[in-house]
Amino acid sequence: MLERIKRTLSLAQKEIESLLKDKQALFIIFLLPTLVIFAIGSSSGGGSTHATIGIVDLDSTSGANLPGPDLSNNFTATLATLPNTNVINFSGDIAAANLSLYLGEIDGFIIIPDMFEENLSSEELPRIAIIDLYLDDTNYAGAAAVMGKLELAILKFKYNLSYIRDEILYIPTTLYSSTSNLYRAAPAVFCITLLGSTMMTAAQSIVGDVPLRRVLLTPARKTEVLLAKLMAYLLILFFQIQILLGISWGLFGLPIRCGYGELLLLLLLTGFSGISLGLLISVVSSSRLQASQYFLLGFILMFVLTWFGGLAFLRDVIPLYRAQSAFTTMAYKGFSILEAGTDTLIIFLFGFISYLLAHVVFHFKKSAI
């Protein structure tokens, strides 16, 4: 047993030395992600069409001044009739709406204040009512969708009740926000670069390792070879994460509102899933070209299903999607790794199953090298 541990550590050391001599691998692992961070550190973006909106109705004057419609309920109903809009009524419970926004169950919530109907029913012109809008700045696509829906609902509400000369103003308040230029792009950038770089380099680690033929003529077993390569890539990944987090937090002010160790563990799990899938690709490939083709196919499929696909049952098991979700809730909202448990568990299981499959294929494939 001790001899096997020594052989595994020796193989891991040789793998690290080989990686450090490979300029192309170093470029992919360290320089490319760093350049991406610097490039995106000077810009941002977002957008969506569906919105789930909470309503907190505090108006005690509804229906009191006019025999006509209850104006706060009418406004809520107008909002609910908009296409691709889901409205959740929290009655007067602001705390419940705030918690729902924090947990990502809604994209934003509106507070209809007291005196809403009385202000709109006043005989003095212009009649002005102000409603408060609360948005989650980590969900920038959802926030943009909520603002678009609200503007349309106000227009329809005023037109339907002939309040053409009256004004309903909303004051948005964004929560969990940051001034960092990396803020909106960081979850995608971190997950794409870590998953992509580890997967790409690991995909060449078996099929492209010519000295491995000689190694397997020694007492070293295939299990030890895969474990050594996994250990080597995880060590390199650890330093890669330190560099990316250091640049993002130190130079661009990216907020980290959870424990640093927990975020590090999440990113290590993300890289672990990439390494494991890369090893699986490497053992099933018969040439370096084929391994590159399999990597490209797999990564494009991940990318498309994560951001453009409608197959939720597939998207939900993809580590790229889960890692981005977990990064957002942990780094920006302060979730612990246990509170983001579903995401982290699926990322780990994806990597673990890929690693086991790599073992099985490598064991039975006679021409694996």
Would you state the pLDDT for residue 39?
A: 57
Residues 62 and 101 in one domain: yes
Residues 219 and 291 in one domain: yes
Question: Could you tell me if residue 369 is inside a domain?
Answer: no
Residues 210 and 118 in one domain: no
pLDDT at 66 over 70: no
Residues 115 and 247 in one domain: no
Residues 89 and 166 in one domain: yes
Residues 200 and 64 in one domain: no
**pTM of the predicted structure, to 2 decimals:** 0.70
- Examine the fold and report which residue of 124, 145, 175 is the final residue of a domain before the chain moves on: 175
Residues 101 and 187 in one domain: no
- Range with top average pLDDT, 26-30, 148-152, 181-185, 299-303: 148-152
Residues 284 and 306 in one domain: yes
- The domain total for the chain is 2
Question: Could you tell me if residue 74 is inside a domain?
Answer: yes
Which residues is 55 bridged to in the sheet? 89, 110
CATH of the domain at 103: 3.40.1710.10
- Examine the fold and report which residue of 154, 175, 196 is the final residue of a domain before the chain moves on: 175
Q: State the greatest distance between any 2 C-alpha atoms of the chain, in Å, as a whole number.
A: 94
**pLDDT tens for residues 76-118?**
999 999 888 999 999 889 999 999 999 989 999 999 998 888 8
- Examine the fold and report which residue of 144, 160, 175 is the final residue of a domain before the chain moves on: 175
| Residue 148 contacts residue 214 (beta carbons within 8 Å) | no
Least confident of 113-117, 202-206, 219-223: 219-223
Of the two residues 116 and 23, the one the predictor is more confident about is 116
Helical spans, DSSP H, in the chain? 2-21, 23-26, 32-40, 71-80, 94-102, 116-120, 140-160, 186-202, 212-215, 222-250, 260-284, 288-307, 312-315, 319-327, 333, 341-364
Enclosing domain of residue 154:
51-175
Burial class (CB in 10 A: 0-12, 13-18, 19+), 237: buried
Question: Could you tell me if residue 340 is inside a domain?
Answer: yes
Which pLDDT band, with edges at 50, 70 and 90, does 349 fall under? very high
Of the two residues 247 and 33, the one the predictor is more confident about is 247
Residues 69 and 17 in one domain: no
Residue reference for tokens 């810009």: 43
